[in-house]
Amino acid sequence: MTENQRVAIVTGGSRGIGRAVAERLAADGQAVVVGYAGNQAEAEAAVETIGKAGGRAVAVRADVAEPAAVGALFDTAEQRYGGVDVVVNAAGIMILSPLAELDLDALDRMHRTNIRGTFVVAREAAGRVRAGGAIINFSTSVTRLHLPAYSAYAASKAAVEAISPILAKELRGRDITVNAVAPGPTATALFLDGKSDQQIQQIAGQNPMQRLGRPEDIAEVVSTLAGPARWINGQTVYVNGGAA
């Protein structure tokens, strides 16, 4: 590891936006710990891509809702790279249903990953991130778009928007920023699965930019919050091309 190299943990880093974030932070010069829930092949592929581009990365399996697993994730970052400067909590699940038809087991699954997982990761980060660091949680622009079938998912992410500014104030004097990023509709498997081409085109056409977001669009904002943007703190940054 090069002297003064920053170290980032990215949960949900094996696919979609999380993977784009991991690759972008590595390209920015950070050593990256790619946290993943179950898809080892995808996680190792992300590490390989980062390595081929000249970066440093390792994949670690961790259920974000389990404190022991998250602690081991941070242990790996400290033991392998010397510490933790940036934590990007991109792990999340989305199950869509009209509220009147909602399977409460699905609600509990989203609560476990999206809310409990954010608390567990943020709690660990609060004790381990070094001065000058950043904690970046993930919300969604659906909290403003109010789309049918998204009530349970949006509710779980609204909790993330509540957590982040409070933690920013609780870390007063530590020189650690805490923000949430709220992507709009983005071309990832999480968003595209179960939607017809017509639905996707309709959603893309509603955006002033006339397209869906790309994972790289979101990663660009995370890169800024993870590095030079020291005066953005306790905020939710909506990254959606003007959709909301």
Report, as residue numbers or ranges, the catalytic residues. 153
- Cα→Cα distances 209→187, 201, 216, 217, 243, Å: 14, 13, 15, 12, 9
What torsion, rounded to 10 degrees, do the Cα atoms 10, 14, 17, 21 define?
A: 40
Q: What are phi and psi of 10, to 5 degrees?
A: -125, 110
Dihedral sign, CA of 105, 112, 62, 189? Answer: positive
Q: What's CA 125's distance to the chain center, in Å? A: 14
| Residue 175 CA to its chain's centroid (Å) | 21
- What ranges in the chain are assigned the alpha helix state H? 16-27, 40-52, 67-81, 104-110, 117-128, 142-145, 151-170, 189-192, 197-205, 215-226
Q: CA 163, CA 161: separation in Å to the nearest integer?
A: 6
Give the span between the Cα atoms of 201 and 210, in whole angstroms. Answer: 9
Residue 89 dihedral angles phi and psi, to the nearest 5°: -95, 80
DSSP letter at 227? T
